[in-house]
Amino acid sequence: MTRLMLGRTLERICKGVLLLCLLHFLIMMILYFDVYTQRFDLFSRFNNGRNGSRNNMSGAAGSGHHYYYYNISRPNATVASYLATGEQLVLSMQPETNQTPSPKPLPPCPENPPGLVGRLLIEFSSQMTMERVQKENPNVTDGGHYTPPDCRPRWKVAIIIPFRHRENHLKYWLHYLHPILRRQRIDYGIYIINQLGEDTFNRAKLLNVGYTEALKEADYDCFIFSDVDLIPMDDRNLYHCYDQPRHFAIAMDKFGFRLPYAGYFGGVSGLSKKQFLKINGFPNEYWGWGGEDDDIYNRITLNGMKVSRPDVRIGRYRMIKHERDKHNEPNPQRFNKIQNTKNTMKKDGISSLTYRLVQVKRYPLYTNISVEIGKPPPRPFKG
C-alpha cells in the first residue's frame, strides 16, 4: 500500500515537471515570434522609407534636408541606440574645425597687490653686476619687459630714464626696481635714453625722446619718468598713473625726507598719455641742470590739473651719492625760463621735438636708445 502511494506521488510530480517545461517552451516560442515580427516590421518600414527617400532625393536636396540610414538589424540593439548612432553620424559628417577652447579672460589686477613688502632696506655698498641682476629676474623678457601672468593691469607703463655715463647706477636701479615692479603687478617696459656726445645734458628733452620712442614699440598709456640714481624705499609707492599727474619722489634722503618746496616735481614723476599731451610734453630748451621740473609743474597747473602725491611715509627715496656730471652744470637761464612757461609751453614741447635716432638695442633687462639731441643755442653776449 505504501509503495503504491509513493509511486502515484512520483508520477504526479513528473507530470507537473513536464507541464512546467511545456509551458516554459510555449512562452519562449511566443516571445521569440513576437520579437521577430517587430524587428521585421521595423526593418520593412525603414527600408520603405529609405527607398522612398531615394526617389525624392532631388527634392530633399533642394529643400536643404539630409537623410541618413542606419543598420537596425543588429542584435541587442534598441531604438535609443539607433538614435545615438544617428547623432554620431551627423557629427562625423560635419566639417572638422579647431575647437580649442578660448582661454578665460584674466581678472583685473588688485589695486593693492597682496605681495607687497612695505618699507625696504636700500643699500649701495655691495658689488652689483648685470649678470646677478639678470639671474634675479628670470621672468623679465628682452628689452626689460614684464607682464603679470595672473591678472590684467589697468595701465601699460613705459618707464623712461634720461642717461649718460651712469652704468654703475643703472645696475643698482635695475636690481631694486625690477622686483618692486613685478610685486606691484605692473605691465611695464624700461627705456634708457642715452644722450650721445659730450655736449650739455638736456634731461627734459631726453624724456620727450623716451615718450616718442616707447610708443613706437607698444601702445603705452602711462609714462613714469625717473632719474637713474633714485631708488624707492617702499614698494607701496605704486608705479602707475593716476587721475592727476603724479609726483612719486616727495621725500628724498638728500632733503631730509621732506618736500623741499610746494612746487617741486623732480626726481620721479608720472603722467598718463592724455595728461602728457595736454601739457605739450616737457620743455626742450632747458640745457644743463635745473629748472625743467619747475617748468613741468607750471605746465600742469596752468592746464587746470593738480599734482597728486603719495603719503610722505611711503614716498621716501634714497639717492646714490655721486659727483655732479660734467657738461651738466647749473643752467643760469633757468629762473627766467620758469617765469615764462605760460608763453612758451605751446610752442616748446613734444610738438617741437627734434632729434636723431642712432641706435635701439634690447638688452635682457632694458632697452637702450641712443640719440643725438643737438646743442644749446649760443648764449647772448653781455656787453
Ranges of each domain in the chain: 136-372
Q: Is the pLDDT of residue 86 over 60?
A: no
Q: What is the DSSP string of 47-90?
A: HHHHHHHHHTHHHHHHHT----------TT--HHHHHHHHHHHH
Q: Is the pLDDT of residue 60 over 50?
A: no
Nearest to 342 by CA among 288, 265, 280, 261: 280
Set of cell numbers at residue 114: 597682496
Q: What is the pLDDT of residue 40?
A: 46
Comparison of pLDDT for 4 and 11, the residue scoring more: 11
Give the span between the Cα atoms of 219 and 273, in whole angstroms.
10
Q: Is the pLDDT of residue 249 over 50?
A: yes
Q: What is the pLDDT of residue 116?
A: 97
Give the span between the Cα atoms of 237 and 250, in whole angstroms.
11
Nearest to 137 by CA among 100, 89, 96, 171: 171
CATH architecture of 136-372: Alpha-Beta Complex (3.90)
Q: 289 an active-site residue?
A: yes
Q: What is the pLDDT of residue 28?
A: 73
Tell me the whole-structure pTM to 2 decimals. Answer: 0.73
- Strand order from edge to edge, sheet including 230-232: 230-232, 316-319, 251-252
Comparison of pLDDT for 54 and 332, the residue scoring more: 332
Q: 155 an active-site residue?
A: no
Set of cell numbers at residue 159: 618707464
- Taking residues 344-372, report their average pLDDT: 98
> Residue 129: which residues within 8 A CB-CB, separation 6 or more?
171
Choosing from 285, 319, 334, 345, the catalytic residue is: 319
Give the span between the Cα atoms of 373 and 285, in whole angstroms.
11
Residues above pLDDT 70, as percent of the chain: 77
Q: What is the pLDDT of residue 54?
A: 43
Give the span between the Cα atoms of 147 and 109, in whole angstroms.
11
Convert the pLDDT of each residue in 133-167 to its tens digit: 999 999 999 999 999 999 999 999 999 999 999 99
pLDDT band at 213 (very low <50, low <70, confident <90, very high): very high
Comparison of pLDDT for 1 and 174, the residue scoring more: 174
Q: 324 an active-site residue?
A: yes
Pairing of strands 222-226, 156-163: parallel
Convert the pLDDT of each residue in 290-319 to its tens digit: 889 999 999 999 999 999 999 999 999 999
Q: Is the pLDDT of residue 132 over 80?
A: yes
Set of cell numbers at residue 288: 644743463
Helix-, strand-, coil-residue percentages of the chain, each rounded to 5: 40, 15, 45
Q: Is the pLDDT of residue 260 over 80?
A: yes
Q: 235 an active-site residue?
A: no
pLDDT band at 37 (very low <50, low <70, confident <90, very high): low
CA 321 from centroid of its chain's CA atoms: 36
Residue 216 one-letter amino acid: K
Q: Is the pLDDT of residue 87 over 60?
A: no
Measured in residues, the chain has a length of 383
Residues above pLDDT 90, as percent of the chain: 66
> Residue 175: which residues within 8 A CB-CB, separation 6 or more?
128, 132, 133, 136
- Alpha helices for 145-288 (secondary structure H): 167-183, 203-217, 273-278
The SS3 of residue 251 is strand
Set of cell numbers at residue 87: 547623432
pLDDT band at 370 (very low <50, low <70, confident <90, very high): very high
Q: Is the pLDDT of residue 238 over 80?
A: yes
Choosing from 54, 65, 313, 322, the catalytic residue is: 322
Q: 319 an active-site residue?
A: yes
Q: What is the pLDDT of residue 327?
A: 65
Choosing from 213, 285, 292, 295, the catalytic residue is: 292
Give the span between the Cα atoms of 337 and 332, in whole angstroms.
10
Choosing from 227, 285, 295, 348, the catalytic residue is: 227
pLDDT band at 85 (very low <50, low <70, confident <90, very high): very low
Nearest to 172 by CA among 215, 130, 120: 130
Please compute, for residue 18, the number of CA atoms within 13 A of its CA located in the half-sphere on the CB side: 6
Give the span between the Cα atoms of 163 and 160, in whole angstroms.
9
Q: What Å distances lie between residue 357 and 193, 205, 210, 213, 361, CA to CA?
A: 10, 13, 11, 9, 12
Q: What is the pLDDT of residue 312?
A: 95
Pairing of strands 187-195, 251-252: unpaired
Q: What is the pLDDT of residue 325?
A: 66
Set of cell numbers at residue 52: 522612398
Q: 293 an active-site residue?
A: yes
